[in-house]
Amino acid sequence: SEIAEMLGLMHYMEGMRLLTLIEAVTATSSENVTVTDTKFGNVAVRLYLPQRAPEGLRRAMVYFHGGGWCLGDAGMKGYDHMSQRISNELNAVIVSVNYRLAPQHRFPAAFEDVYSVTKFFLQSRVLSQYRVDPARVCVAGDSAGGNLAAAVAQQLLEDPEVKTKLKAQILLYPALQALDLNLPSYRDNYNKPILPKSLMVRFWSEYFTSDPSLREAMASNRHVPAESGHLFQFVNWSHLLPAEMRRAHVYTGPTYGSAALARRFPGFLDPRASPLLASEAQLRRLPPAYILTCEHDVLRDDGVMYARRLHAAGVRVTHDHAPDAFHGAMMFLLWPLDLAVGHRLLNRYVEWLNENL
């Protein structure tokens, strides 16, 4: 992808997106689950409906895939496998959303799409159509999808048109803030697969713009202007991370960047892109959360800090930390990338859903 971009053949993310195409599978129903590609509003979704008759009303999940807001598809093998399994085992309706992707569609396009689908699905007539219990609906997502799930859960609280309350939010190794890209987890996992710091910085910057000035500022952690310095209280890892994750790292406070850059690309200061920027008053109204973090992941500290802030705000949080796992581990379920850690994390996730949704 880097070479193709240097030669002017294609944008970096277009090259990366070829991986998505290789992994895509068509919507194929099984004896247990009916799978269809359709639209909710104007947004494409892959819908999973259990075939067995429900004993009463079903539970449901609106799912947002990962891929740095630039890649990914609900139809990728790993996502399709997970959705089919959860739909079958939990007799749950799964709505897996194919939101618009950067760089063709910048923030807040992805957020607007997933919010639109969630709001559409939460209508009483739609829930009734699919025989869904309005008291047993959650949002979920991994990586960038976890970011979107957290943002949707926050935004729904402010929407007077939405009467249905979420039962839970599930955030799998989520990206939750774009202020401090030099957290201990970014330092500890600088070059580890499958998400080195350089790629995460590229994802963040492409979400807002292809202008290299933002990417360069983010790479050096000098992109937040002094007038936004008060926001760092929400991502201050010196007290939001446990000692075993701070290790020998010393918190020095922010190095401020250009106010002009933030005026041109204000998205990274928006809570819809950085849900960790929500105030405690906002957080305390949120539904119970399941948060998975992985030790060998640049995004580890985002999830840990959000879990701690939610807990401090009085929200019931289940925080599972996998000391032997890396970013995206739950997708490693099928040959030739079939790993025991992926199955273990998925089994635990399904167990939590069964008990809490």
- Which CATH number among 3.30.750.24, 3.40.50.300, 3.20.140.10, 3.40.50.1820 corresponds to the domain 1-356? 3.40.50.1820
120: burial class by Cβ within 10 Å (0-12, 13-18, 19+)? middle
Count Cβ neighbours within 10 Å for each residue of 9-26 and write b for 16 or more, e otherwise.
eebbbbebbeebeebeee
Which among 12, 10, 5 is positioned nearest to 202, based on CA atoms? 12
Per-domain boundaries in the chain: 1-356
d(CA 291, CA 168): 11
Beta-sheet pairing, 132-142 with 92-98: unpaired
d(CA 36, CA 44): 11
What's the average pLDDT block by block, 10 residues per block, for the chain (357 residues)?
65 79 93 98 97 89 98 96 97 98 96 98 97 98 98 98 97 98 98 95 96 96 97 97 95 94 97 98 98 98 98 98 97 93 98 98
d(CA 97, CA 101): 12
pLDDT at 270: 98
pLDDT at 74: 97
Global pTM value: 0.96
**Is residue 249 among the annotated active site residues?**
no
From 73, 297, 301, 302, active-site residue: 297
**Is residue 223 among the annotated active site residues?**
no
Beta-sheet pairing, 168-172 with 132-142: parallel
d(CA 38, CA 117): 12
**Is residue 327 among the annotated active site residues?**
yes
CA distances to 28, 69, 76 from 81, rounded to whole Å, are 11, 21, 9
227: burial class by Cβ within 10 Å (0-12, 13-18, 19+)? exposed
From 11, 223, 296, 327, active-site residue: 327
pLDDT at 204: 98
From 143, 185, 228, 274, active-site residue: 143
